[in-house]
Amino acid sequence: MGDTGTPVLLTSAQRTGTAVLLAEAAERRGMDVRVLTGPHTLDGLDERTVHWYGGPFTARRITDRTGLALLEPPDDWLARLPEEFTGRRIEASTLSKAWELRRPAFVKPPGDKSFPAAVYADGTRLPRTGKRVGPDTPVLISEVVTFAVEYRLFLLDRRIAAGSRYAVHGRLDVAPLHRDRYERHVRRFVRRLLETTGDLLPSAVTVDIGLVRDPESGRGRWAVVEANMPWFSHCYAAPPDAVLDVVLRAAGPRERVLPSDRRFLRPAAHSPLRAPRAP
């Protein structure tokens, strides 16, 4: 795919608030914004520079036709972190192993949304059938902790490009990171995290962190909540223009992928979205 023509931001048909904000930011830059409503939307994009914001399942089906390269954190990244950064025990496993749980645990698919991420009373409460789940579905099994406050951070080249608070005591409570009461603590924790483990993440990524309160002492410690793909993350109160910088790096032309990012590429699906054949 070449670089001729105006760059394109392609978004899914699900018009979330973030998709609208990023589309507006892209238009301010002179980009061509298109909503993927079917195979015909991809017509004429063969020689265009295409970027993506939307879900992973659709994204995987359009990579061949658009030349997209999608960066994502490794499924086991959170489980590989030292406990000083997680504040809890985390295991990378499979859904079949999670079915055997006989205790409460927080269980989630590491990258996609194949089933709800939640605290499950035991393994019997987890899904066993479905279009996108099966015994070998990767999961993260985490010790249950309570976050007093949580932040979403869009990272680019090992620095915070944009950030937002998104929850307080588990409830949606959105505010900009800039001038937040914990901004200095957030930046200091993320700096230490990236200095220690930054090479385990792609150059453009979303990381959520939070403050865990000890119920007995009342003391708090900062911990990583999870890492995600910027091209499938809500921006909350983060500045859309800065978020767009991260999205464009994380989901763009294959030939522009940095050598250090190639190991973080999401594999393409075997069933690409194709244009219908003429009768």
| The pLDDT of residue 20 is above 70 | yes
Q: What is the pLDDT of residue 47?
A: 85
Specify the CATH number of the domain 145-242: 3.30.470
Q: Give the residue from 252, 160, 138, 171 showing the smallest Cα distance to 206.
A: 160
For residue 244, give the 3-state DSSP assignment: helix
Asked if 232 contacts 55 with a C-beta cutoff of 8 angstroms, the reply is yes
Strand partners for 142: 90, 106
pTM passes above 0.75: yes
Structure-block tokens of residue 170: 């588990």
Give me the chain's average pLDDT, please.
91
Give bridge partners of residue 25 from the DSSP assignment.
Answer: none
**In this predicted structure, what is the pLDDT of residue 64?**
87
Structure tokens at 87: 């504040």
Q: How many residues does the chain have?
A: 279
Reported as a single tens digit per residue, the pLDDT across 189-248 is 999 999 999 899 999 999 999 999 876 666 889 999 999 999 999 999 999 999 999 999
Domain residue extents for the chain: 8-72+253-264, 89-142, 145-242
pLDDT score at 4: 58
Rounded to whole angstroms, the Cα distance separating 1 from 255 reads: 8
Residue 15 has φ and ψ, to the nearest 5°, of -85, 80
